Amino acid sequence: MRILLTNDDGICARGLEALRDAVADLGEVIIVAPENEMSATAHSITMTQPLRTKEVHRNGSLWGIAVSGTPADAAKLALATLLVPKPDLVISGINQGVNTGLAAIYSGTVSAAAEGAFVGVPSMAVSLASRHHEDFMPAARIARALAERMLDNGAWLPKFSMLNVNVPPLPLSSMKGIRVTRQGMGGYRDGYERRQDPRGMPYYWLDGAGFVIEKDEQADDHAVLDGYVTVTPLRFDLTDFGLLNSVASLVSNLRPAELQ
């Protein structure tokens, strides 16, 4: 079995190290990750400049391959070129910070795992739901347990689908359990602090003013705050099928040739 590990916190991140230690004996583990932290880059990819790679060694052994681009770049490059044949599993993480609700859309961690889903490789993103909690061990244990089941069941996830896993910042003994959830619609309240540079010109610094949580217990953001590990299946088909007929009615009388 071959397992590709990636992330958005950078190849030197502690969460990636904890993840690697947790799954090291499950097969051949290959790390391909951004050279630097690339949080909240969503599914951005590099097209106007080359991607550069370099080997990273620890204790005289190859640790992984650092990529100069985004998380999606790193995963895409690994799956398309660096790893032949493709891996049996892609795990992105362990992210330092929650990736529930609308935060999953902005997440480089989720987007890197999505690259595996795009090519039919079972994939999951794993996040520790805290920016400050330093104990990655519980999240790593959860990730390993899920990885074992995903590998044992083969390619059971359909193409274009993946799992988004969020782990509360608690000891394993204090977690209430694992809950399969839907993606919530909660997210950060956007706020920008206006500042002034030394030349007197204004600039703005994003400063999220808290996270809005859904009240629905089936939403991932609500459940992880309540002490549950959340496992949310995501699918990358953005079509709103419920609106197809309404939109068809909206455009039914439009004729391009008549718009000249």
For position 86, what pLDDT does the model report? 93
Domains of the chain and any CATH numbers:
2-184+217-238 (3.40.1210.10)
Pairing of strands 2-6, 61-67: unpaired
Q: CB-based contacts of 216: which residues, under 8 Å, 6+ apart?
A: 184, 222
Tens digits of pLDDT across the chain (260 residues): 999 999 999 999 999 999 999 999 999 999 999 999 998 889 999 999 999 999 999 999 999 999 999 999 999 999 999 999 999 999 999 999 999 999 999 999 999 999 999 999 999 999 999 989 989 999 999 999 999 999 998 667 899 999 999 999 999 999 999 999 999 998 877 888 999 999 999 999 987 667 778 888 899 999 999 999 999 999 999 999 999 999 999 999 888 888 88
pTM (whole model) above 0.85: yes
For residues 174-198, one letter each, b for 16 or more C-beta atoms within 10 angstroms of the residue's C-beta and e for the rest, the string is: ebeebbebebbebbbeeeeeeeeee
* Cα 162 from Cα 249, distance rounded (Å): 34
Q: How far is CA 49 from the centre of its chain?
A: 24
